[in-house]
Each structure stands twice: as structure tokens, then as C-alpha cells.
């Protein structure tokens, strides 16, 4: 009986400590509940876009594209709107070096992929569809690549909200909707391990300064 009582006491103590630890962790997180209304300019030196493309095998390529302009507007009611402009001629592959890097960058620039000579610019416009919940805001967006515009949805996590904004957004888009069909299983048969997945993952880090 004493052994059973001791076990229950230890269990209760351990559970209490776990809950206390969890509460302490939550208390230590800086909760951003609102953003200052106004016009914000993107700090281009602190903002960045990185991408991940994958083949049907375990092969993965990573890279960046330069953000060349952007702005964010916060209304008095807390609605967040913005636009980010990209220079597609700055497609950079970060997982390769030398001739392999040069070859893949050249291929991504070509008509097989993004045809940057004809379509040098890309753009993401966005507007919030929710308020701030645990530092997260849900967005509706319009992504324009190769002069084709498609709807996207994504979440942004706020790291800083005043007086300037620091945030990180992650989104995934289907490249075939932008007429990027090279080695896509939707348009080509019998690709085997040469198949390239249609989804491209993008991470955008935004630093915006209040005007």
C-alpha cells in the first residue's frame, strides 16, 4: 500500500512539474498581438527568398532569388497587405558548385523552366485573411510567374512587430500552373527516376521598416 501511495505521489509531482515547465515556456514566448498601422518599405538587405525543388528520387536542389522591391501596409483595423517583386534573372543554385551549378542555373533560366529573358520579373501580392494568433497570420495571395497569375495561400510567423516588422512565410506552389512543365508527370509519361516534382517550396524572410 505504501509503495502504491509513493508511486502516485511521484507521478503527480512529475506531472505537475511538466505542466509548470510547459506554462513557463509559453510565458517566455513574446506574443505579438497587433502591428503598428502605416506604410512599410522592405529592407532589401535583410529580406530574402529561398526555394527547394525535388525530383522523384531523393535528389533535392536549393537556391535563392533576389527580392528587388516590396512594401507592406497595415490598416487602422489591422489588415495586412503587401507586394514583393522578384528578379528572376538572379536565380541562384546553392547546393552545387562549378560546372554543375552553372548548368542547372542556365537550364532554370531557359524556356524549359522560367524563360527569364522573356519573363524577367515575378511578383507576390498578399492580404491577410485572419488576425494575429500566436504570432501567426494567414494570408491569401496572388503569385505571378511568366505573366501567369495564380492564387496561393500561406502563413507568416512574426518574430518582431514594432516598430519594424520581421516575419517568415512559407508557401508551396505548383510550377505547372505557370507553364513550367519540364519533366512533369502530368505532361510526360515514362519519366522514371527523371521525374521532377511539380511542387516548389519557398521560404520568404521579410524585414520591413516603417516609413
pLDDT in the model for residue 187: 74
pLDDT in the model for residue 184: 86
pLDDT in the model for residue 188: 67
pLDDT in the model for residue 2: 43
pLDDT in the model for residue 191: 64
Quick one: cell of 89? 534573372
pLDDT in the model for residue 194: 67
Residue 81 in contact with residue 35, Cβ under 8 Å? no
d(Cα 184, Cα 178) in Å, to the nearest integer? 12
- Residue 72 CB partners (closer than 8 Å, separation 6+): 39, 40, 42, 80, 81, 82, 165, 206, 208
Residue 73 in contact with residue 81, Cβ under 8 Å? yes
Quick one: cell of 190? 515514362
d(Cα 73, Cα 38) in Å, to the nearest integer? 6
pLDDT in the model for residue 29: 54
Quick one: cell of 52? 527547394
pLDDT along the chain (211 residues), means of 10: 41 44 47 94 97 89 98 96 98 97 96 97 97 96 98 96 94 96 74 80 97 90
pLDDT in the model for residue 10: 41
The alpha carbon of 206 is separated from its chain's Cα centroid by a whole number of angstroms, namely 10
Amino acid at each position: 500500500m505504501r509503495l502504491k501511495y509513493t508511486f502516485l505521489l511521484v507521478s503527480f509531482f512529475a506531472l505537475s512539474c511538466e505542466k509548470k515547465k510547459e506554462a513557463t515556456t509559453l510565458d517566455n514566448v513574446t506574443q505579438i498581438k497587433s502591428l503598428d498601422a502605416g506604410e512599410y518599405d522592405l529592407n532589401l538587405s535583410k529580406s530574402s527568398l529561398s526555394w527547394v525543388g525535388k525530383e522523384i528520387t531523393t535528389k533535392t536542389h536549393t537556391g535563392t532569388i533576389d527580392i528587388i522591391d516590396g512594401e507592406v501596409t497595415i490598416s487602422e483595423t489591422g489588415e495586412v497587405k503587401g507586394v514583393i517583386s522578384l528578379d528572376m534573372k538572379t536565380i541562384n543554385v546553392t547546393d552545387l558548385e562549378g560546372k554543375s551549378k552553372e548548368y542547372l542555373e542556365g537550364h532554370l533560366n531557359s524556356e524549359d523552366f522560367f524563360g527569364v529573358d522573356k519573363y524577367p520579373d515575378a511578383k507576390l501580392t498578399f492580404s491577410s485573411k485572419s488576425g494575429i494568433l500566436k504570432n501567426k497570420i494567414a494570408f491569401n495571395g496572388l503569385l505571378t510567374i511568366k505573366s501567369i497569375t495564380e492564387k496561393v495561400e500561406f502563413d507568416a510567423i512574426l518574430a518582431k512587430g514594432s516598430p519594424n516588422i520581421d516575419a517568415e512565410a512559407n508557401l508551396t506552389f505548383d510550377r505547372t500552373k505557370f507553364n513550367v512543365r519540364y519533366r512533369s508527370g502530368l505532361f510526360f509519361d515514362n519519366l522514371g527516376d527523371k521525374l521532377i516534382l511539380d511542387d516548389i517550396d519557398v521560404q520568404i524572410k521579410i524585414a520591413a521598416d516603417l516609413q
